[in-house]
Amino acid sequence: MTDLPAGLDDLAIETPSWAYANSGTRFKVFAQKGVPRDPFEKIADAAQVHAFTGAAPTVALHIPWDKVSDYSLLAEYTVDQGVRLGAINANVFQDDDYLLGSVTNPDPRIRRKATDHLLECVDIMDATGSRDLKLWFSDGINYPGQDDIRARQDRLSEALAEVYARLGDDQRILLEYKLFEPAFYVTDVPDWGTSLLHCLALGPKATVCVDTGHHAPGTNIEFIVASLLRAGRLGAFDFNSRFYADDDLMVGAADPFQLFRIMYEVVRGGGLDPATGVAFMLDQCHNIEPKIQGQIRSVMNVQEATTKALLVDAVALRTAQDSGDVLGANAVLMDAYNTDVRPSLAAWREQRGLDPDPIAAYKASGYFDKIVAERVGGTQAGWGA
């Protein structure tokens, strides 16, 4: 069994409230038994993930999916459940007014409406004590000529500047990019370069969010991670995995080697140090699989990739790299990747009073049967689209 390197204790993963709700594709959203009906039940489920993994202490909210009358009450309930509220996700992608865009819309009245929603989310952060405002814009165009690409960037930066000015000292923006969907010709924040340009223009409290499902096939995401860490502008990850597009599958499920390479650049770039402020969030949809188990498995996948990354022999690697030993250097990384860290992680859990097998322990806890029996009636939560 491998001794676990220091640093794993620093890995804190944030689970998304919407992963516990019904989700699907344009073809079908399959309802599942026991699904939460409100943010309180979502948080109770998220608390289970932390209870069995010891590594998921915060929960991200999405507004208005998680709208409540009293956010400080929700924050108190969350602490009572053993977790804390994390990032606040704005939503300017589901209102009919946003047909031609939200903050980039040609119509100033609609831009005003969208910006006001973003400002409302900062008010919510004040109530929940959240540090991060996560901004993802579905804004874009579908046909060449439909709108002026540069003018839309001007509108976007104007709205971002107003929101940035509203931030408190300890608050920040996470600007997420995405190559395409729902826009299919130009997305206004399509890549890390565009997000970084806006962040640099705004100021130090604006950072980039890397959603691992938002790149063109073949994109070297770990290069983006290394570059953003080097620039001090890597704010967060939205972890998931994909075989084709924004599939939002469990992180590490489709490409565990890619997740390892990403976490190696995180470790190498000092991103695991809480002082660097990188948020490790999951952004997934468990369309057909049990949701709480899916989140537990996802947290374990990130723990495994991070542990392997922490095992890389940095001295041997640097020696091989500096001497031009191509295969030697590659072998150092592959040795770490090919190390079975599961027994060590099981021991890490036991040392912390956790069951070595979180999924088996969760299944044996009877929690799922309890919520299936309790959560009868009412309306199951979903994306509300």
* Cβ atoms of 1 and 344 closer than 8 Å: yes
Q: Residue 357: what residue type?
A: D
162-163-165-166 Cα dihedral, nearest 10 degrees:
120
3-state secondary structure of 250: coil
Considering CB distances under 5 to 8 angstroms, the limit depending on partner class, which of Mn ion, ligand LRH, none binds residue 178? ligand LRH
Shortest Å, Cβ 259 to Mn ion:
16
Shortest Å, Cβ 136 to Mn ion:
6
Residue carrying the six token digits 């049967």: 369
CB of 66 or CB of 147, closer to Mn ion: 66
Q: Is 248 in the site for Mn ion (CB under 5 A)?
A: no
CB of 74 or CB of 282, closer to Mn ion: 282
Q: Is 283 in the site for Mn ion (CB under 5 A)?
A: yes
Considering CB distances under 5 to 8 angstroms, the limit depending on partner class, which of ligand LRH, Mn ion, none binds residue 130? none
- Whose CA is closest to 17, among 336, 281, 314, 232? 281
Shortest Å, Cβ 226 to ligand LRH:
22
Pairing type for strands 132-136 and 140-141 reads unpaired
* Cβ atoms of 285 and 245 closer than 8 Å: no
Pairing type for strands 140-141 and 186-187 reads antiparallel
Q: Is 246 in the site for Mn ion (CB under 5 A)?
A: no
Beta bridge partners of 62: 89
CA distance 371 to 385: 25
Considering CB distances under 5 to 8 angstroms, the limit depending on partner class, which of ligand LRH, Mn ion, none binds residue 246? ligand LRH
Shortest Å, Cβ 42 to ligand LRH:
13
Stretch that binds Mn ion, among 39-47, 237-245, 263-271, 296-304 (CB under 5 A): 237-245
- Number of helices (H) and strands (E) in the chain: give both, helices first: 13, 10
Q: Is 238 in the site for Mn ion (CB under 5 A)?
A: yes
Distance of CA 165 to the CA centre of its chain: 24
CA distance 372 to 208: 38
Stretch that binds Mn ion, among 120-128, 197-205, 278-286, 340-348 (CB under 5 A): 278-286
Beta bridge partners of 88: 61, 133
Cα angle for residues 160, 249, 332 (degrees, 5° grid): 95
Show the tokens assigned to 314: 């940095």
Which residues contact ligand LRH by CB under 6 A? 18, 89, 136, 176, 178, 211, 238, 246, 283
Q: Is 211 in the site for Mn ion (CB under 5 A)?
A: yes
CA distance 64 to 71: 12
Shortest Å, Cβ 285 to ligand LRH:
8
3-state secondary structure of 174: strand
Shortest Å, Cβ 211 to ligand LRH:
5
Beta bridge partners of 132: 172
Considering CB distances under 5 to 8 angstroms, the limit depending on partner class, which of Mn ion, ligand LRH, none binds residue 233? none
CB of 222 or CB of 283, closer to Mn ion: 283
Q: Is 14 in the site for Mn ion (CB under 5 A)?
A: no
CB of 240 or CB of 344, closer to Mn ion: 240
Q: How many residues bind Mn ion (CB under 5 A)?
A: 3
Shortest Å, Cβ 209 to Mn ion:
7
Shortest Å, Cβ 211 to Mn ion:
4
CB of 18 or CB of 362, closer to ligand LRH: 18
Considering CB distances under 5 to 8 angstroms, the limit depending on partner class, which of ligand LRH, Mn ion, none binds residue 137? none
Tell me which residues touch Mn ion (CB under 5 A).
211, 238, 283
